[in-house]
Structure 1
Amino acid sequence: MGINILDHKVEQYIDANLNTDLHALLLKKSPFPEVSMQEIVQQIKGKQVARKKFPFLLKDGIVFPPQLSLEQASSEKTALYKSEILKGNTFIDLTCGFGIDAYYLSRNFRKITLVEQNSELLNIVEHNWSVLEKKATFINRKLEDFLKENNASFDVVYLDPARRDTQKNKVFLLEDLSPNIMEIHNKLVSLSEEVVIKLSPLIDLKYLVSVLPGIFRMEIIAVKNDVKELVVFLTKKRQGEVDCHCVNLESGEPAFTYQFGEEENRTADYGEPEKFIYIPNNAVLKSGVFNLIALRFGLKKLHPNTHLYTSDQRAEHFPGRILEMESIEAKQVQKKSRFNVISKNYPLKPEEIRKKYNLKDGGENYLIFTQSKKGKIILKSI
């Protein structure tokens, strides 16, 4: 990315076209001899992503990388949450990327080191950090080469491995990531008492704990009920219990904390729907502690495969939605009405239910199609 992209007139042109059709824009000739239309569109895309994902970068002088780096970067919300957990003197990010995580995670550290193998991307990060008046040591090296050559130690080591193979297919096993976490594990824990690794939220937790030594904390992070990240904390010395935290940012819901393995040998009571229906948020559902949730809050589960809960008295501080509902017959469903339709352990998907009953989507009322141990049921919000 050339320095000409930072010209004031170019930036004005970019800002004036933030809502322009980018395909049409690419067909036009750039009004600036030293800046291609492809470069201009790249910056427009960057600002469009930044509006939602990292608005702190919406300021003059910031340069945005190609689309893939924007997609792979953490959001400002998840990075800020992780930054509240970490502190120390020295911090290193071994897979800097666009540097969003590093910018926030390093807030409570005095010395910051960023490693990135893509020289163009690292130059962009170095430039942006200069604009943001934030200092770091920038190292353009492959992670594996850096680990071989480095003998220094750090208070916190952070990395976010690439989760796509050479054919750009998604991968989940630790040995298939780039870098291969299993190969570099021993070196990582020799560098620091606290190694933090961001992983795909789709990875299986039992698999993770069984193959990766030294895990002492896991964070399942959702934003508005969309699970974005699974973050593991590991160390060479500490073994034993793994503290697990499920958070749903921007929901107002409390975090749910448990010890990994606490679900084992737990049994929930089952019952038919009562006055209140509880829907755990997706961070909790990802944890798989379905019986533990029932026991913690004194709830009954509707069915072994229906992760909905019920009680006659409202349970406070539940990590999810609480709806006051009643059971109805299928013939009582008001056709052509507006409902939020939820289908859990039910043969039809929400869109199929809406079509069958001629329902409109949205509004303040809910219909839940599910089943208890006695069979299929329909619940309507009161």
Structure 2
Amino acid sequence: MENKLLNKEIQNYINANLNTDLHSLLLKKSPFQDVSMSEIVQQIKGKQTAQKKFPFLLKEGIIFPPQLNLEQASSEITAVYKSQILKGNTFIDLTSGFGIDAYYLSQNFGEVTLVEQNPELLNIVEHNWGVLDRKAIFINQNLEDFLDINKDHFNVIYLDPARRDHNKNKVFLLEDLSPDILQIKDRLLTTADQVVVKLSPLIDLKYLVSVLPGIFRIEIIAVKNDVKEAVIFLSNEKRKEIMVNCINLESGDSSFTFTFDEEENTQAVYSEPEKFIYIPNNSILKAGIFNLVSERFGLKKLHPNTHLYTSDQKINDFPGRVLEMESVESKQIKKKEQFNIISKNYPLKPEDIKKKYGIKDGGEGYLIFTQSKKGKIILKSV
């Protein structure tokens, strides 16, 4: 791939302006005859994004696509995690995009194929993989057209459907995605032993399981307690249960694995607050596993709709935050005190609580506004 952006002088200019205000830079005339300032700024944005999201691409000779493609790409850390789950002989990514997932997921496969309908984006990915010394078959085609003519069988198909409609609004139901997974599921499963689909972290798991037979595994992936994606695994092989794993990367990499049957067959034990309060990781809360947390760790729940747990003895391997707390009255809260505010199953949001009580945000202490079975309560860290 011959690209004028790879000119040494232009690359030096890009690197020298990585911390320059991009809006002011766009108002300037490009110092290079054949490269516009918008093209230069695109590369600066790409490197800035790579510093945080996929640092393995901070290498000489890498070309970055428009910002939208960077935003839609998976992060390096989530791609690396998913790569530890998959292996085989043949791998195909039917929506390769910027190729971050494909780069890592395909490392345990002998033959790799990338399908992408955007020719400019595919050219960039093919160039970058050459710089990174990775081989693949690159196909510029719409995935549905590819499925129509393809006669090969793969061990794993991976795809990340577009989650925006024609008006650029976010969509979450499977039938609103592009492609529509419900429509092409059977074709996918005749083409591969296993189909892996990356979905929005906002998707409802019960809805997902009800409309899409063949799911045998779900990964809820969070990074620093921010849920980034839900990944589903499908096959034609009949299995009795769906295994769900909630992982929290870069925060101890704690995980919680369960089946839906376990949750349905478990009853929580309830109690007023004891010495320690437990707040599950957001990946667990996203999965809706509330009773099983109580049983697995021998904890008591505060209220059916309050997903906080308590005990007198500290549980050290709990997948979440553990705070030593005590109950307080509202009159004991002094104005201008500094606390981190948590509101769970409580009428007021943290911002409203800060205004009502004149509390400053931050510091090392915590105030939890919540409900037990006896009513509204306030908990203060000890």
**Do they fold alike, i.e. is TM over 0.5?**
yes
TM-score for both structures, normalised by structure 1: 0.98
SS of residue paired to 1:314? coil
Could you tell me which residue of structure 1 aligns to residue 163 of structure 2? 163
SS of residue paired to 1:175? helix
Given the alignment of the two structures, is residue 32 of structure 1 paired with residue 39 of structure 2, yes or no?
A: no
Could you tell me which residue of structure 1 aligns to residue 127 of structure 2? 127
SS of residue paired to 2:193? coil
CA distance in 1, matches of 2:122, 2:184: 23
Deviation string, structure 1 residues 291-332 (Cα, Å, up to 9, x no partner)? 111111111111111110101111232111011111111111
Could you tell me which residue of structure 2 aligns to residue 67 of structure 1? 67
Could you tell me which residue of structure 1 aligns to residue 269 of structure 2? 269
Could you tell me which residue of structure 2 aligns to residue 373 of structure 1? 373
CA contact 1:341–1:361 (8 Å) conserved in 2: yes
**Bigger mean CA deviation after superposition, 17-26 or 137-146:** 17-26
CA contact 1:253–1:318 (8 Å) conserved in 2: no
Given the alignment of the two structures, is residue 224 of structure 1 paired with residue 234 of structure 2, yes or no?
A: no
Deviation string, structure 1 residues 350-369 (Cα, Å, up to 9, x no partner)? 11212222222222211111
**Bigger mean CA deviation after superposition, 353-362 or 244-253:** 353-362
Given the alignment of the two structures, is residue 109 of structure 1 paired with residue 109 of structure 2, yes or no?
A: yes
Q: Give the C-alpha shift of residue 18 in structure 1.
A: 1.1
CA distance in 2, matches of 1:283, 1:160: 20
The one-letter amino acid paired with 1:377 is: I
Q: What are the equivalent positions in structure 2 for 1:44-83 lying under 5 Å apart? A: 44-83=44-83
The one-letter amino acid paired with 1:53 is: K
Given the alignment of the two structures, is residue 237 of structure 1 paired with residue 237 of structure 2, yes or no?
A: yes
The one-letter amino acid paired with 2:158 is: Y
**Bigger mean CA deviation after superposition, 256-265 or 283-292:** 256-265
The percentage of counterpart residues that share the same residue type is 72
SS of residue paired to 1:285? helix
Aligned Cα root-mean-square deviation (Å): 1.2
CA distance in 2, matches of 1:14, 1:193: 44
CA distance in 2, matches of 1:359, 1:32: 54
Given the alignment of the two structures, is residue 296 of structure 1 paired with residue 301 of structure 2, yes or no?
A: no
CA distance in 1, matches of 2:79, 2:122: 19
CA distance in 1, matches of 2:343, 2:255: 25
Structure 2 residues without counterparts, runs of 5 or longer: none
CA distance in 2, matches of 1:235, 1:56: 32
SS of residue paired to 1:273? coil
TM-score for both structures, normalised by structure 2: 0.98
CA distance in 1, matches of 2:161, 2:367: 41
Segments ≥4 residues shifted beyond 6 Å: none
CA distance in 1, matches of 2:94, 2:119: 14
CA contact 1:92–1:154 (8 Å) conserved in 2: yes
Q: Give the C-alpha shift of residue 2 in structure 1.
A: 7.0
The one-letter amino acid paired with 2:282 is: N
CA distance in 2, matches of 1:266, 1:231: 25
**Bigger mean CA deviation after superposition, 259-268 or 37-46:** 259-268
CA distance in 2, matches of 1:185, 1:211: 11
